[in-house]
Amino acid sequence: MGCHPIDPDGPPSGTPDISFYCDDIAATVAELKAKGVTFTGEVEDHGYGLVTHFLMLGEIRVQLYQPRYTVERG
């Protein structure tokens, strides 16, 4: 789960979302498209990071984003 400012154009509060982050959204989108993943729109700048959405089986919409903040690993 993440905590970001409420997007006035987003789903109503309390709506569950699935999201994954990546280090390079352009490369990740290209790799997923090459494997047949369907994206619902282009990459957009949402302030906290670059964002797009793709569909999983069952038409479940999933967010993919490249954060503007640094993610520590380890």
pLDDT digit string (tens) for 17-43? 789 999 999 999 999 999 999 999 999
Task: In whole angstroms, give the CA distance from residue 59 to residue 48.
Answer: 26
Closest by Cα among 53, 52, 44, 47 to 69: 47
Topology given in CATH for the domain delimited by 18-67:
2,3-Dihydroxybiphenyl 1,2-Dioxygenase; domain 1 (3.10.180)
Domain ranges of the chain: 18-67
Q: Is 49 exposed, middle or buried (0-12, 13-18, 19+ CB in 10 A)?
A: buried
Ranges of beta strands (E only) in the chain are 18-21, 44-45, 49-56, 60-67
Answer whether 0.75 is exceeded by the pTM: no
